[in-house]
Structures are given as C-alpha cells and as structure tokens.
C-alpha cells in the first residue's frame, strides 16, 4: 500500500540557503511518527514544506501525499485534502472571532469535499463538544483568533482546530514548547483520541517528554537536513539520555 506521506531525497532552500539535504521519510496511513532533532536541523522547514509555505523552494527530490506529487500544490488545497499543521508559533488575527474563523475553515473544506456546509447552530454545538474534551476555556472561542492568548492557550487552540477540522495527516510542529505538564497532558490526550487507522501524525519535537504522552510508532532523527537514524520508541529515550551530539550510529 502507498504510504500516506512519502518524501524521497528532498532538498529545500530558504533564501538561497540549503536547509533540507536529501531527506527521506515515509509515513503509512494510521501511524504516528516522531521527528526529533537539535535546533537548526531543519525540523520546522520540514513542517512548512509539507504544508506548502511560500519561500521554501524545493530544489530536488519528491514529496507525495496520498500518492500525489504535491510540490506545486497551493497550501489551501493541501489543507482541503486533509493536511493540518499545528503551528509552533500560532498567528494572531485581531478582530476575527475564533469560532467564525474556524467555521469559515470547516465550511471551505466541506465545500471542496462536496459535503453540505454546517450552519451556525450545528457548528457551535460541535465546537462546544470539542472544547470540553480539551478542557479549553469556552470564552476563548469567542475571542479573536489567538489575540491575547497565553502561549499554552495558543497551542491548545491549535489542537482544538485540529480536532474540529479532522485532518488525515496532522503535523505537530514543536507543539510541546511552552507547555506546562498539565497542558502537555491535555494536548497529548487530544491527539491520542484522534489516532485511528484512517489518520497519521507527524510529531516534530526537540524533547522526548511529549513522546511519553504521544507514543509514536516510529522515531526519526533529523540532523543537518537529513534523517540520520530511524527506530522504535526506544530511540527517543536513548537520545534523551545521550543527546544529539553523539555521532549517529549508522553502519557504513
């Protein structure tokens, strides 16, 4: 079976500087993979290039999603096909109501899937149900998107959006950064509840502590723009104990 996400020999430049240098990664449908790596290894670049951000130029290699080459696909099209990125730094949109924003997104996606749009009443009840599951302050859904939110509230809002948009591939870009242990647990539970044979996750993180809560099927180590080692969940613990500086144990 074709993997949900298939990346082969990917080279990516940002402002003329090569960040990814021949990255390979495959995520089968239904699996949760973690990519770990030190600062500057290219973790966020990987997240953004999957989501289709402009300014990230693919200079070589292939990136396929559901068997389709998506290198040239607009970000909104990818989103409508089920790619979701939980941002490391969620963006504030002053004056735009959080619920209104998410309803616009949901209906945009439903429209492209030939599903009927949700009306305000249906949508609000859906929101309220998801909000409860995430122990999210109900008042926040009426406030402008991320405006005046604490770091933890912003991250939880990302997960709230993900649970409402129900993507096929959820990419979590350092979702654990800035979260205290309680928030981390809530976020992880939100993700775990969504895990299913019909959905995959790519969890990008610097620390293994998130992986104690979201236990991955595979762990990959990203260094200097390449996956240098892959393994089971134990690899995360070993990295935590030994650090990234240890030369990757790749047989020649």
Partner 1 sequence: MPEQQRTLGAAEVEQLVEREYAYGFVTDIETERVPPGLSEDVIRLISEKKEEPQWLLDWRLKAYELWQGMTEPDWAKVSYPKINYDEISYYAAPKSAVKDGPQSLDDIDPELRRTYEKLGIPLVEQQRLAGIAVDAVFDSVSVATTFKEKLAELGVIFCSFSEAVKEHPELVRKYLGTVVPHTDNFFASLNSAVFSDGSFVYVPKGVRCPMELSTYFRINASETGQFERTLIIADEGSYVSYLEGCTAPMRDENQLHAAVVELVALEDARIKYSTVQNWYPGDKNGVGGIYNFVTKRGKCAGARSHISWTQVETGSAITWKYPSCILLGDDSIGEFYSVALTANRQQADTGTKMIHIGKNTKSTIISKGISAGHGQNTYRGQVKILPGAWNARNFSQCDSLLIGPDSGAHTVPYIDVANPEAQLEHEASTSRIGEDQLFYCRQRGIDPEEAVSLIVNGFARDVLSELPMEFAVEAQKLLGVSLEGAVG
**Residues in touch with partner 1 (CB under 8 A):** 14-15, 39-40, 44, 48, 51-55, 74-76, 78-80, 84-85, 87-91, 93-96, 101-102, 104-105, 108-109, 112, 144, 161, 165
| CB of residue 91 to partner 1, shortest distance in Å | 4
Residue 121, CA distances (Å) to 49, 99, 141, 143, 148 in order: 36, 12, 14, 18, 26
Residue 235, CA distances (Å) to 59, 70, 100 in order: 30, 30, 42
How many Å apart are CA 139 and CA 151, to the nearest integer? 16
| CB of residue 90 to partner 1, shortest distance in Å | 7
| CB of residue 68 to partner 1, shortest distance in Å | 17
**Farthest-apart Cα atoms in the chain, separation:** 61
| CB of residue 160 to partner 1, shortest distance in Å | 12
Tell me the two tokens of residue 24.
Answer: 């390979």
How many Å apart are CA 119 and CA 76, to the nearest integer? 22
| CB of residue 250 to partner 1, shortest distance in Å | 27
Q: Which residues contact 97 (CB under 8 A, 6 or more apart)?
A: 142, 143, 144, 145
Q: Which residues contact 16 (CB under 8 A, 6 or more apart)?
A: none
Tell me the two tokens of residue 74.
Answer: 């607009």
Between β-strands 144-145 and 93-97, what pairing exists: parallel, antiparallel or unpaired?
antiparallel
| CB of residue 186 to partner 1, shortest distance in Å | 21
| CB of residue 229 to partner 1, shortest distance in Å | 23
**Toward partner 1, which CB reaches closer, 48 or 218?**
48
**Toward partner 1, which CB reaches closer, 51 or 221?**
51
**Toward partner 1, which CB reaches closer, 100 or 233?**
100
**Toward partner 1, which CB reaches closer, 174 or 235?**
174
DSSP 217: S
Tell me the two tokens of residue 194.
Answer: 């969504």
**Toward partner 1, which CB reaches closer, 69 or 108?**
108
**Toward partner 1, which CB reaches closer, 95 or 251?**
95
Of residues 214, 171, 187, 163, the one with CA closest to residue 4: 171
**Toward partner 1, which CB reaches closer, 18 or 212?**
18
């Amino acid at each position: 079976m074709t993997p949900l996400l298939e990346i082969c020999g990917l080279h990516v430049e940002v402002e003329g500087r090569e960040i990814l240098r021949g990255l390979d990664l495959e995520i089968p449908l239904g699996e949760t993979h973690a990519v770990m790596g030190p600062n500057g290894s290219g973790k966020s670049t990987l997240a953004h290039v999957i989501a289709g951000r402009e300014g990230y130029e693919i200079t070589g290699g292939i990136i396929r999603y559901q068997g389709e080459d998506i290198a040239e696909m607009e970000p909104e099209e990818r989103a409508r096909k089920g790619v979701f990125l939980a941002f490391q730094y969620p963006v504030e949109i002053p004056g735009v109501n959080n619920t209104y924003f998410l309803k616009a997104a949901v209906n945009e996606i439903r429209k492209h899937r030939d599903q009927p749009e949700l009306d305000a009443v249906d949508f609000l009840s859906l929101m309220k149900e998801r909000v409860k599951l995430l122990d999210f302050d109900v008042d926040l859904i009426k406030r402008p998107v991320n405006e005046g939110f604490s770091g933890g509230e912003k991250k939880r809002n990302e997960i709230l959006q993900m649970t409402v948009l129900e993507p096929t591939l959820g990419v979590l870009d350092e979702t654990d950064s800035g979260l205290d242990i309680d928030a981390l647990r809530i976020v992880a539970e939100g993700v775990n509840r969504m895990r299913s044979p019909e959905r995959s996750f790519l969890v990008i993180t610097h620390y293994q502590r998130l992986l104690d809560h979201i236990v991955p099927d595979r762990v990959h180590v990203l260094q200097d723009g390449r996956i240098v080692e892959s393994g089971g969940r134990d690899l995360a613990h070993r990295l935590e104990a030994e650090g990234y500086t240890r030369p990757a144990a790749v047989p020649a």
